Amino acid sequence: MAFVLSVSGSPSATSRTSRLLRHLDARLEADRHEVVALDVRDLPAQALLGADPGHPAIARVAALVERADGLVIGTPVYKAAYSGLLKALLDLLPQYALAGKTVLPLATGGSVAHVLAVDYALRPVLNSMGAGHITQGWFVLDKDVSASPDGQVTLAAPAAAPLYGIVDQFSAALSAAAPRRSLYAAG
């Protein structure tokens, strides 16, 4: 079992990105991974905007990142890139905070014109932070994510099958890395 930190970089309380991530968290939990959800919007704005890595809330996030075997990083696409809120958090983490981690980059947006934001905006930042393995990322159109009044998320069929395949690949990569993690822990 791996420990996964699922990070939503959306500033919106009714975010499709966050809802999508929480839906995918359940899939990872069904694969016997421990998942902790983090909505960056819930962190203190003063700590994020003031670039205060010593703030207790930011220190807790840094500790979660350090503990994580894998991270799901989700963001809405704004102006062909990941959200500024996600950028503020990533800037506060140590340079190589993702070293040895398996990372799944995901993005949501209103137009297929933004599909390359995962590979041309988000992936380079994750790579620069030392991610050990960045799995295939995925972009989901906003219109393909819907939520019922009780919070149940439904994905449109054309989006669901490939996205679930990507999440399953991420889960398999985490499971494959588990024996290596236990070797390091033992030594």
* Domain region containing 78: 3-186
CATH code, domain with 32: 3.40.50.360
Query: Which candidate, 123, 171, 166, places its Cα nearest to that of 4?
Result: 171
**What is the predicted pLDDT for the residue at 183?**
43
In angstroms, how far is CA 49 from the centroid of its own chain?
A: 20
Q: What is the count of structural domains for the chain? A: 1
**What is the predicted pLDDT for the residue at 181?**
52
pLDDT, block means (10 residues), the chain with 187 residues = 97 92 97 97 96 96 98 96 97 96 96 91 97 95 91 91 97 82 47
**What is the predicted pLDDT for the residue at 155?**
94
C-alpha to C-alpha distances, 16 to 31, 79, 151, nearest whole angstrom = 23, 17, 11
